[in-house]
Amino acid sequence: MEILKIHNNPERAEWAALTERFTREEEEITRQVTEILADVKSGGDRSLREVTRRVEGRDPRTFEIPADVRAAAAALIPAALKEALAAAKANIETFHRAQLPPEVDIETMPGVRCVQRAVPIRRVGLYIPGGKAPLFSTVLMLAVPARVAGCGEVILCTPARPDGTIAPEILYAADLCGVDRIFSVGGAQAVAAMAYGTESIPRVDKIFGPGNRYVTKAKQLVGANDVAVDLPAGPSEVLVLADDEASPAFAAADLLSQAEHGGDSQAVLVCPSVEFARDTQRAVGEQLLQLRRGETIREALRQSRIVVLDSREKMIGFANAYAPEHLIISMRDAWDVAAQITAAGSVFIGPWSPESAGDYASGTNHTLPTGGWARAYSGVNTDSFLRKITYQELSRKGLATLSPTVIAMAEAEGLGAHAAAVRVRMKGGVL
């Protein structure tokens, strides 16, 4: 198999096909997820157990992780990892606390006061992938901003390991970040439980977290009618912009680190020459031999690619057309390039900024829009856990000044009662 097919200077008409994501079996996934959602919505815990037996092959008596099991996890975590988690948490908290919005309080005209205040979401549900690679880093990325925002209750759902237990790293990270309740359930059925509520798992006001295509589809479906969701965060992806001064070894490492997330991940290199493309191909092949998740990486690389474009303008244009979850810019004047990027989840500037830094500990959030949704969505941030409520207070003088404007607009729209609500005040209670 050729590792990472090279597309040499494709015409712009070909870009649409080269920016497509993995969509295999989409109809079947939708059918299965719709069935799971309906089962859990109607049957609660009973259906949740049945789906867990069918999907995970285990028969849980209870879903909530008790306090003693959570507390015991700390003893299983090496000191070095505890230190790493504490450092990462501190950086994430620093960056997300800086995002807290100030209150807006202004008179738009004399006697007309308008206020905007940020109010935390009452109860949020976090989905943490925990199958082959339990992503305890995602606990930090979601629970820390939830607590910074001041959410009243934070619950967490994560799939069990084959032996029915939860990875101690996830339990420890959850306690470190102040998660209130943890439930051992994963997949689309976890999304259903948080969206509709069961006897054991409370219904939440908003669901956060990445997942596989089943989890993503479940979030899309419940988000249409039942509960707020953060963003479309499905199979992970990276696009690397590299010029001929970049390191092919660095570019290869970035592509491989993305590909190991899962077989449905996608890694794309955009570079200006076939020579750099081939050097990166070779580096990918050499580094792949040293990695443990080789089979998963090879599967992801089958749907990944290298695109050679002969101008800086075209390279930037392709990156914006792709709208990547992660964008690495390893080019001359990288910040100038970044200023021209209009669609990306998170951008990594220069040769010393691997995606791994943002995935774990630089302070930015790694829960990001995928599948081209970076054209319209931001990654998770402190605002994601807040609602903005506006307030207004008018004095009698303020309403008197504003009343001609309101009455004229209301009558032009044919809404006489709106106009009357102003007139009755101005006339002392009579129309």
Give the closest residue to 148 by CA, choosing from 96, 206, 91, 208: 96
Which residues have C-beta within 8 Å of that of residue 388, sequence separation ≥ 6? 101, 116, 117, 118, 119
Establish whether 413 is an annotated binding residue.
yes
Is residue 325 among the annotated active site residues?
yes
Establish whether 359 is an annotated binding residue.
yes
Establish whether 103 is an annotated binding residue.
no
Establish whether 199 is an annotated binding residue.
no
Q: In 98-237, which ranges are continuous DSSP H helix?
A: 136-149, 168-176, 187-196, 213-225
Q: Dihedral through CA 14, CA 15, CA 16, CA 20, nearest 10? A: 110
- How far apart, in whole angstroms, are the C-alpha atoms of residue 238 and residue 241? 10
Which residues have C-beta within 8 Å of that of residue 237, sequence separation ≥ 6? 21, 258, 265, 266, 267, 268, 324, 325, 326, 370, 371
Establish whether 214 is an annotated binding residue.
no
Q: Which two tokens stand for residue 59?
A: 């028969």
Maximum C-alpha span of the chain: 85
Q: Are 33 and 217 in contact (CB under 8 A)?
A: yes
Q: Which of 326, 366, 393, 411 is catalytic?
A: 326
Give the C-alpha distances (Å, rounded to integers) separating 369 from 113, 197, 216, 330, 373.
37, 26, 11, 22, 5
Q: How many CB atoms lie within 10 A of CB 56?
A: 20
Cross-strand pairs, 391: 115
Q: Are 185 and 157 in contact (CB under 8 A)?
A: yes
Establish whether 236 is an annotated binding residue.
yes
Establish whether 99 is an annotated binding residue.
no
- How far apart, in whole angstroms, are the C-alpha atoms of residue 337 and residue 307? 18
Q: Which of 56, 325, 355, 366 is catalytic?
A: 325
Is residue 7 among the annotated active site residues?
no
- How far apart, in whole angstroms, are the C-alpha atoms of residue 368 and residue 370? 6
Establish whether 326 is an annotated binding residue.
yes
Q: How many CB atoms lie within 10 A of CB 358?
A: 22
- Residue list for the binding site for substrate: 236, 258, 261, 326, 359, 413, 418
**Catalytic residue IDs:** 325-326
- Binding site residue list: 127, 189, 212, 236, 258, 261, 326, 359, 413, 418
Binding positions for Zn(2+): 258, 261, 359, 418
